[in-house]
Amino acid sequence: MEESLEDSLLDDGDGVGELTAQTALQEIENAWMNERFAPEILPHQSDLVDCMLQQIAHMEKNIKRLDKKDLRALVHRMELDRIKYVISSYLRARLEKIERYTIHILSEEANRSPEEAYLTPGELRFAKEYLANLETFFKTVALQHMPPNFQRFEANKFIIKPNLQAHVFLRANQRIPGIVLPGMLNEEIDFEEGSQHIIQYSAVAHLVKSGVVQLI
C-alpha cells in the first residue's frame, strides 16, 4: 500500500529529465548504501540529490493541501521524512569521508578533470576550507613554537588514506565474468546475476562506481 501511495505522490512531479521519480528514489537509495559501505569516497550524484530535493519541495506543497487529520497526509509525511533521512545520511557520509581523508581526496581530485570530478563544487570548497582551517590552527598553536626546521605543515605526512583492502558485501546486478582476486595469481571468478559475495573492496571498486554491483 505504501509503495503505491509513494508512486502516486511522486508521480505528481514533472519527471525531471529522463529520470522518473520512482527510479530516482531507487537510485538515491542505492547511492546511499554504496557510499555508506565503500571505504573511499565515490563520484558524487548531485543530479540525483537535486532532483530528489525538488520532488520533496513539490510533495510538501501537495501535502499542505490535504487536511491535517487526513490519514494520507500522515503517511505521506512519514514517507517524506524517510526520504529526507536517506538524502541527509548520504551527504553526511560523504562529508565525514571528506573530513577524514581531506588531503588524500584533494590530491586525487586535483588529477581529475571537472567532468570526472568526484566532489561537487560545494564539497570541494568545504574540503579546501577544512584543510586551510586545520593548517592555520596547527601553525598558531604548535608549529610556530617549534625549532626552525620543524615548523612546516607537512601535508604529505598527515595523509590518511581509506583502507581499500577492507572487505565489502555486494550483490551483482548482472553477470560479470573475470574478476581478478587480489593477492592470487591467475585466479579469476565470475559473478552471476543477483549473486552475493564478500570481497576486497579494491577488486570491485570500478564495478561499484559503474553501478554494476550494489554494496549491501
Partner 1 sequence: MFGKEAVKLITELDMHEDIRPFNEQVMRQVFEEMQTLYEANLVDSNAIQNEGNNALLPSVHFRHTALLRNKRCVLAYLYHRIRRLRQMRWELGSILPTEITANLLNAEMQWFQNYNKSLATYMRSIGDDHGLNLTVNMNPPKTLYVEVKCLSDFGKLELDDGEVITLKKNTYHLLPRTTCEPLIRQGILEHHNT
Using rule CB under 8 A, residue 165 touches partner 1: no
Of 50, 188, 192, 193, the one binding partner 1 by CB under 8 A: 50
Site string for partner 1, 81-110 (x = CB under 8 A): xx-xx-xxx-xx--x---x-----------
Rounded CA-CA distance 116/159 in Å is 23
Residue 147 CB, shortest distance to partner 1, in Å, is 4
Rounded CA-CA distance 6/189 in Å is 39
Size of the site for partner 1 (CB under 8 A): 43
Cβ-contact 143, 151 below 8 angstroms: yes
Quote the cell numbers at residue 201: 573492496
Return the number of the residue (133 or 163) whose C-beta is nearest partner 1: 133
Return the number of the residue (14 or 81) whose C-beta is nearest partner 1: 81
Using rule CB under 8 A, residue 166 touches partner 1: no
Of 3, 18, 67, 68, the one binding partner 1 by CB under 8 A: 68
Torsion over CA of 61, 65, 69 and 71, rounded to 10 degrees? -70
Using rule CB under 8 A, residue 177 touches partner 1: no
How many other CB atoms sit within 10 Å of the CB of residue 11?
A: 12
Footprint on residues 115-144 left by partner 1 (CB under 8 A)? 120-123, 125-126, 129-130, 133-134, 136-138, 140-142
Rounded to 10 deg, the angle between the 71-100 and 102-110 helix axes is: 80
Number of alpha carbons in the 13 Å side-chain half-sphere of residue 48: 20
Rounded CA-CA distance 139/6 in Å is 53
Rounded CA-CA distance 144/71 in Å is 63
Residue 190 CB, shortest distance to partner 1, in Å, is 35
Closest CA to 171 of 187, 192, 202, 201: 192
Using rule CB under 8 A, residue 163 touches partner 1: no
Of 30, 54, 173, 200, the one binding partner 1 by CB under 8 A: 54
Closest CA to 12 of 70, 68, 72, 71: 72
Using rule CB under 8 A, residue 58 touches partner 1: no
Residue ranges that bind partner 1, judged by CB under 8 A: 49-50, 53-54, 57, 68, 74, 77-78, 81-82, 84-85, 87-89, 91-92, 95, 99, 120-123, 125-126, 129-130, 133-134, 136-138, 140-142, 145-150, 158
